[in-house]
Structure 1
Amino acid sequence: MAALTTLELLYVAASVALSLSGLTMVAFAANAYLQTEHREMLFLSLGFSIVVAAAIATTVSAFAQNFENAILLLTVNYAITTVGYLFILGSVVYRAD
């Protein structure tokens, strides 16, 4: 295994930072859901879980494929991330009556 380049290390660091901050949001939202049972907190938690999963999967796939098929990889990432953001958007728009 070759040593990682500076750019690859920055990519991994950014992915780790995104994942950790996203997982923090998941924990906060899940905790809020457990305390309040507000459905919007569940949507928020699911949305950030999907965004984090997309980030982790993209990073792992990029290294596994030696950064080939970048267009396909980014397209799949954007599609999955968009689904996550739709859940996040739903958590903001949703009103429990």
Structure 2
Amino acid sequence: MAALTTLELIYVFFSIALSLSGLAMVAIAANAYLQTERREMLLLSLGFSVIVAAAIATTVSAFSLNFQNAIVLLTVNYALTTIGYLFVIASVVGQN
């Protein structure tokens, strides 16, 4: 494997930062769900889980495919991220 370029290293850094911050949100929402058993916290946790999964899968796929098929990678990423955000939206507008 060739050494990573500066741009690739920046991409990996921000992918890791996004994943860690998203996982922190998952942990916070999951903990809130366990304490309150509110459906909204479960939806929030699921939403951020899907968003983090999309970020990780995109990064791994990009490097394993040598950044080929970028349109497919981005389309799948955006589709999964949108689904995750739909869960987040549902958690915000959910009924009590």
Is this a same-fold pair by TM over 0.5? yes
* AA partner of residue 33 (structure 2): Y
Work out whether 1:67 is the aligned partner of 2:72: no
- Unmatched 5+ stretches in structure 1: none
Q: What is the alpha-carbon root mean square deviation over aligned residues?
A: 0.3
Number of aligned residue pairs: 96
- Unmatched 5+ stretches in structure 2: none
**Pairwise CA distance, 1:95:** 1.2
Residue 82 of structure 2 is matched in structure 1 by: 82
Normalising by structure 2, report the TM-score. 0.99
Q: What is the alpha-carbon distance in structure 2 between the residues aligned to residue 15 and residue 95 of structure 1?
A: 33
Question: After the TM superposition, which residues 36-55 of structure 1 pair with which residues of structure 2 at under 5 Å, given as runs?
Answer: 36-55=36-55
Runs of 4+ in 1 over 4 A off after TM superposition: none
C-alpha offsets along residues 47-74 of structure 1, whole Å, 9 cap, x if unaligned?
Answer: 0000000000000000000000000100
Normalising by structure 1, report the TM-score. 0.98
Residue 34 of structure 2 is matched in structure 1 by: 34
